[in-house]
C-alpha cells in the first residue's frame, strides 16, 4: 500500500504523474524511444518545454503580461545568487526579509554583490513568525522574500506594497493558493516541493526588470540568455521538466490553483484543529502565520514520542519528523497529498490521546 507521504521535499506527486512518467521512460509518445534517450531538440521534447512554460503562465494568470517562464537547473539555491547577479545594480543595495533558513541562505549569497538591507528578521524567536510593519528602502534594486518557510512552518499571508521590484522564493507553496502573481517581478521555485521531481527550478520573470544591473553576467547565470534560448540554452533537465508538465496538467484538470487551494485549506484546517484541540500537542509557529503547506507541531511531553512514533508508522505514515532546527513534527501537505492522508494522521493523534489517558488512569 502506498504510504501517506508527508515528506517536506522531494515530495509526494500525483499517482497519475508517476504512472505517466514511468510510461514515458519506457516509450515516450509511442515513439518506441524512452524520453531519457531522445534529443532535447527533438520535436517531441520541444513541445514538452513549450507547453510547460505556457502552462505555468496560464495557471499563474500571467499570460500576456510580459513574463517569461524558465526551467533551469541548480536548484532554488542557485537562484540565491542568480537573482542578485541579474538584478542588483553595481554599487547598489537590495532589501531582504529574513524569515528562515532559506531566506538566510539567500541573504548570504547576495552579500557578495552589494549592500544587503535586512528589513526585518524573526531569527531571535527561532523564526516562529513572519515579521510585519517594516519598510523597504526606495533605492533598493529589489526586495526579496520567502512566501513559505518550509522548515519553520510559517507562511506570508500578505506581501508588502513597494515600488521596487519584488522577488519571491515560492519553492514550497507555488501553485498552492491564489495570489495576485502579477505583483511579483521575479518568482522562483525548486520543483521538488510542489511541482515535480528534483532537478529543475522554475523561474518566472518580468522581462522589463532585466538588463538594468550594468553587470557582465556569465551566460549560464543570465536570465536573458535563457529567455532568448527558450529555456534550452544548454541541455535542460529533460525528465524533471516532463514530470513537472504532467503535474501542471493534473492541476489544470482539477480546476487550477483556485480548486487546489480549497483542498489545501481543508487539509490544513483538519490538522491544525486537532493540534489545537488535543491536549498532548501544540503548534510550533504563530497562529496567524501558520503555513498551509508545512504544519510544524510538538508533543507537550516528549515521553510520548516513542509511542506516537510507533503509532503513525504503523498507520502507514512517512516523513513526519520535524527538521532538526525545530524538532517535533512537520506535516508537509503539498498539493498532491490527499485529504484522507490527513485524516489518518488526525486519527492517530486522537488515538494517542486515548492511550495516554488510559495509562494515566492505570497509574493513578
User: Which residues are tagged catalytic?
Assistant: 102, 169, 193
* Residue 114 binds to ligand PLP (criterion: CB under 6 A): no
Q: What are the strands of the beta sheet with 329-332, ordered from one edge?
A: 281-283, 294-299, 329-332
* Residue 291 binds to ligand PLP (criterion: CB under 6 A): no
Cβ proximity to ligand PLP: between 101 and 278 the closer is: 101
The residues, ordered by sequence, that sit 6+ positions from 8 with a Cβ below 8 Å of its Cβ are 150, 151, 172, 193, 294, 319, 323, 330, 332
Question: Least distance in Å: CB of 195 to ligand PLP?
Answer: 11
Count of residues in contact with ligand PLP, rule CB under 6 A: 12
**Strands 143-146 and 93-98, bridge-based pairing:** parallel
Hey, which residues between 3 and 32 contact ligand PLP (CB under 6 A)? 9
Question: Least distance in Å: CB of 292 to ligand PLP?
Answer: 14
Sole binder of ligand PLP in the list 21, 154, 171, 291 (CB under 6 A): 171
Question: Least distance in Å: CB of 186 to ligand PLP?
Answer: 14
CA distance 172 to 55: 19
Sole binder of ligand PLP in the list 61, 75, 137, 316 (CB under 6 A): 75
CA distance 227 to 208: 12
Question: C-alpha cell of 287?
Answer: 497562529
* Residue 152 binds to ligand PLP (criterion: CB under 6 A): no
Sole binder of ligand PLP in the list 28, 45, 71, 102 (CB under 6 A): 102
Cβ proximity to ligand PLP: between 326 and 352 the closer is: 326
Cβ proximity to ligand PLP: between 146 and 341 the closer is: 146
What are the phi and psi torsion angles at 321 (to 5°)?
-60, 145
* Residue 146 binds to ligand PLP (criterion: CB under 6 A): yes
Sole binder of ligand PLP in the list 68, 172, 200, 213 (CB under 6 A): 172
CA distance 163 to 139: 9
CA distance 1 to 294: 24
Cβ proximity to ligand PLP: between 92 and 128 the closer is: 128
Classify 307 as helix, strand or coil. helix
* Residue 150 binds to ligand PLP (criterion: CB under 6 A): yes
The residues, ordered by sequence, that sit 6+ positions from 17 with a Cβ below 8 Å of its Cβ are 196, 243, 246, 247, 250, 336
The residues, ordered by sequence, that sit 6+ positions from 274 with a Cβ below 8 Å of its Cβ are 281, 346, 349, 350
Question: C-alpha cell of 132?
Answer: 510585519
* Residue 337 binds to ligand PLP (criterion: CB under 6 A): no
75-83, 137-145, 178-186, 284-292 -> range binding ligand PLP (CB under 6 A): 75-83
Cβ proximity to ligand PLP: between 78 and 116 the closer is: 78
* Residue 76 binds to ligand PLP (criterion: CB under 6 A): yes
CA distance 77 to 302: 34
Hey, which residues between 180 and 239 contact ligand PLP (CB under 6 A)? 190, 193
Question: Least distance in Å: CB of 284 to ligand PLP?
Answer: 16
Cβ proximity to ligand PLP: between 75 and 319 the closer is: 75
CB-based contact 359:286 (threshold 8 Å): no
CA distance 107 to 180: 25
Cβ proximity to ligand PLP: between 86 and 149 the closer is: 149
CB-based contact 301:170 (threshold 8 Å): no
* Residue 77 binds to ligand PLP (criterion: CB under 6 A): yes
Q: Give me the residues that bind ligand PLP (CB under 6 A), please.
A: 9, 75-77, 102, 146, 150, 169, 171-172, 190, 193
Amino acid at each position: 500500500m502506498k504510504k501517506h507521504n508527508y515528506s517536506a521535499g522531494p515530495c509526494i506527486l500525483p499517482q497519475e504523474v508517476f504512472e505517466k512518467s514511468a510510461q514515458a521512460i519506457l516509450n515516450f509518445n509511442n515513439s518506441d524511444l524512452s524520453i531519457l534517450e531522445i534529443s532535447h531538440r527533438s520535436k517531441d521534447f520541444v513541445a514538452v518545454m513549450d507547453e510547460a512554460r505556457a502552462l505555468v503562465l496560464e495557471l499563474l494568470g500571467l499570460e500576456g503580461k510580459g513574463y517569461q517562464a524558465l526551467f533551469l537547473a541548480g536548484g532554488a539555491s542557485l537562484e540565491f545568487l542568480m537573482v542578485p547577479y541579474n538584478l542588483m545594480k553595481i554599487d547598489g543595495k537590495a532589501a531582504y526579509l529574513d524569515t528562515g533558513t532559506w531566506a538566510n541562505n539567500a541573504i548570504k549569497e547576495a552579500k557578495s554583490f552589494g549592500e544587503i538591507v535586512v528589513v526585518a528578521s524573526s531569527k531571535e524567536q527561532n523564526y516562529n513568525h513572519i515579521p510585519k510593519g517594516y519598510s523597504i528602502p526606495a533605492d533598493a534594486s529589489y526586495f526579496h522574500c520567502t512566501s513559505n518557510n518550509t522548515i519553520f512552518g510559517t507562511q506570508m499571508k500578505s506581501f508588502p506594497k513597494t515600488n521596487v521590484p519584488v522577488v519571491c522564493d515560492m519553492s514550497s507553496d507555488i501553485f498552492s493558493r491564489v495570489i495576485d502573481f502579477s505583483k511579483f517581478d521575479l518568482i522562483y521555485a525548486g520543483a521538488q516541493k510542489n511541482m515535480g521531481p528534483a532537478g529543475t527550478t522554475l523561474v518566472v520573470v518580468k522581462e522589463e526588470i532585466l538588463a538594468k544591473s550594468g553587470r557582465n553576467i556569465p551566460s549560464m547565470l543570465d536570465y536573458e540568455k535563457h529567455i532568448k534560448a527558450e529555456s534550452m540554452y544548454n541541455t535542460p533537465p529533460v525528465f524533471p521538466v516532463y514530470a513537472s508538465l504532467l503535474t501542471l496538467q493534473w492541476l489544470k484538470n482539477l480546476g487550477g490553483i483556485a480548486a487546489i487551494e480549497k483542498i489545501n485549506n481543508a487539509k490544513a484546517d483538519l490538522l491544525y484543529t486537532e493540534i489545537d484541540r488535543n491536549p498532548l500537542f501544540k503548534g510550533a509557529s504563530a497562529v496567524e502565520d501558520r503555513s498551509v503547506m508545512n504544519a510544524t507541531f510538538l508533543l507537550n511531553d516528549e515521553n510520548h514520542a516513542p509511542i506516537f512514533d510507533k503509532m503513525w508508522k504503523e498507520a502507514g505514515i512517512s516523513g513526519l519528523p520535524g527538521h532538526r532546527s525545530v524538532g517535533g513534527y512537520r506535516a508537509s501537505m503539498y498539493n498532491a497529498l490527499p485529504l484522507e492522508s490527513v485524516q489518518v494522521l488526525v486519527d492517530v493523534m486522537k488515538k494517542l490521546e486515548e492511550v495516554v489517558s488510559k495509562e494515566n488512569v492505570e497509574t493513578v
